[in-house]
């Protein structure tokens, strides 16, 4: 069953918040305000939004290097996110982690991760904890087509299946791992088919259609909660920006390919649906956008006005055995 009117508006709001947050991060990066590596999710917003719409606050997610969308969709505070991207003390990691390490345990966001594939076994651990807690919680992990080539992918799907864990593996197949096209690197272009090798359910969905992602994820999340075990959901999608924000790293992808995917914009698609179904007017869409842009401005102001960490802070929150 499709989302009701309010749910569709909420899905739209979340996608637009991710889009506007990242457009601003891109602009701030160009001005030198966003520090470190910044990988943007623009174009892929429907995946995080559709999956997290089915999760409770006590469900846990693990993200990867392109993780702003997952944090926002799970309910993270965009002020603290922006401050972290700016390397400020008020950020989620006190300015020490940056864009690739945003985490908020309070909302079940166990962290973004700069190591490709490393989030999968962490999510297996979270799913095992959920299974032991017996509170029908689940864990979900987001990872790319590139990560599906890592050893952790194999180990994690195998263990999750053997232990019948309550979890969802969400593969964001955006057809590239940095500069390497999936058609050169993957032995099988349909990653969801790999699930069969682990005796697991594999499902594929148009990752630019938030209604389709929401519906597919909803079924798999319910199934996992009810003891049906893990599943692999492959979402076919595309990123609009280069691998990371940079003035020196060339985007080798064909221009026509990018343009064809821009025509499948998940945000514009939902705006069109809201208009055509008479759910919102043009004016109401503009009002939602203005409201979101205002919040982004406030987040940037908060980040700008926050202090950088002190040099001695480098010795805090550091652990070693
Ligand atoms: C273990 C490891 N190998 C290589 C890298 C360098 N690296 C960072 S992102 C990336 C590509 C990942 O591609 P994919 O998993 O498809 O995610 P996408 O960037 O497309 O979202 C690579 C190779 C890394 N960070 N970690
Ligand atoms: Mg990829």
Residue-wise DSSP of 79-98: HHHHHHHTT-TTSTTTTSS-
Ligand 2 centroid, distance to 277 Cα (angstroms): 33
Is residue 207 in contact with ligand 1, taking CB distance under 6 Å? Answer: no
Structural domains of the chain, ranges and CATH numbers in brackets: 5-60+117-307 (3.40.50.970)
Query: How far from the centroid of its chain's Cα atoms is residue 282's Cα?
Result: 28
Residue 199: burial class (beta carbons within 10 Å; 0-12, 13-18, 19+): exposed
Q: Please state the atom number of ligand 1 nearest to the C-alpha of residue 118.
A: 1
How far apart are alpha carbons 72 and 48 in whole angstroms? 9
Return the pLDDT at 319.
80
List of residues 6+ apart from 131 with CB closer than 8 A: 163, 164, 165, 166
Count other Cβ atoms within 10 Å, centred on residue 135.
Answer: 10
The tens digit of pLDDT for each residue in 189-225 reads: 999 999 999 999 999 999 999 999 999 999 999 999 9
Radius of gyration of the chain (CA): 19
Ligand 2 centroid, distance to 319 Cα (angstroms): 32
Return the pLDDT at 247.
78
Is residue 30 in contact with ligand 1, taking CB distance under 6 Å? Answer: no
How far apart are alpha carbons 91 and 87 in whole angstroms? 7
Ligand 2 centroid, distance to 89 Cα (angstroms): 31
Max alpha carbon distance in the chain (Å)? 60
176-177/180-181 β-pairing: antiparallel
Read off the tokens for 178: 């940095």
Mark the ranges of the chain whose per-residue pLDDT is less than 70. Answer: 1
Candidates 207, 129, 136; CA nearest to 163 is: 129
Query: Under DSSP, is residue 84 helix (H, G, I), strand (E, B) or coil?
Result: helix
What are the distances in angstroms from CA 182 to CA 40, 170, 179, 205, 239? 19, 17, 10, 17, 13
User: pTM surpassing 0.85?
Assistant: yes
Return the pLDDT at 239.
98
Read off the tokens for 211: 């209604």
The tens digit of pLDDT for each residue in 123-144 reads: 999 999 999 999 999 999 999 9
Is residue 144 in contact with ligand 1, taking CB distance under 6 Å? Answer: yes
Q: Please state the atom number of ligand 1 nearest to the C-alpha of residue 147.
A: 15
Full DSSP string of 124-149: HHHHHHHHHHTS---EEEEEETTGGG
Query: Under DSSP, is residue 203 helix (H, G, I), strand (E, B) or coil?
Result: strand
Return the pLDDT at 261.
98
């Amino acid at each position: 069953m499709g989302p009701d009117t309010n749910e569709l508006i909420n899905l739209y709001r979340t996608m637009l918040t991710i889009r506007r947050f990242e457009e601003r991060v891109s602009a701030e990066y160009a001005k030198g305000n966003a520090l470190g590596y910044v990988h943007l999710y623009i174009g892929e917003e429907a995946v995080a939004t559709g999956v997290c719409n089915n999760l409770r606050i006590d469900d846990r997610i693990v993200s990867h290097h392109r993780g702003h969308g997952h944090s926002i969709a799970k309910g993270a505070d965009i002020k603290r996110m922006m401050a972290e991207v700016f390397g400020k003390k008020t950020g989620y990691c006190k300015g020490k982690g940056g864009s690739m390490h945003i985490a908020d345990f309070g909302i079940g966001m166990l962290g973004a991760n700069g190591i490709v594939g490393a989030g999968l076994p962490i999510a297996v651990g979270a799913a095992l904890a959920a299974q032991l807690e017996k509170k029908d919680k689940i864990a979900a992990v987001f990872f790319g087509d590139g990560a599906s080539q890592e050893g952790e992918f194999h180990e994690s799907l195998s263990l999750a299946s053997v232990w019948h864990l309550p979890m969802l593996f969400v593969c964001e197949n955006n057809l590239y791992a940095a500069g390497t096209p999936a058609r050169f690197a993957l032995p099988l272009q349909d990653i969801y088919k790999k699930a069969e090798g682990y005796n697991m359910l594999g499902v594929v969905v148009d990752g630019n259609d938030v209604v389709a992602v929401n519906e597919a994820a909803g079924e798999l999340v319910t199934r996992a909660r009810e003891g049906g075990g893990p599943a692999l959901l492959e979402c076919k999608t595309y990123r609009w920006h280069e691998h990371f924000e940079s003035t020196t790293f060339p985007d080798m992808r064909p221009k026509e390919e990018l343009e064809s995917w821009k025509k499948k914009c998940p945000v514009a698609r939902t705006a069109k649906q809201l208009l055509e179904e008479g759910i919102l007017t043009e004016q109401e869409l503009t009002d939602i956008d203005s409201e979101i842009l205002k919040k982004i401005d406030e987040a940037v102001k908060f980040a700008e006005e926050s202090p950088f960490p002190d040099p001695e802070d480098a010795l805090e929150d550091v652990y070693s055995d």
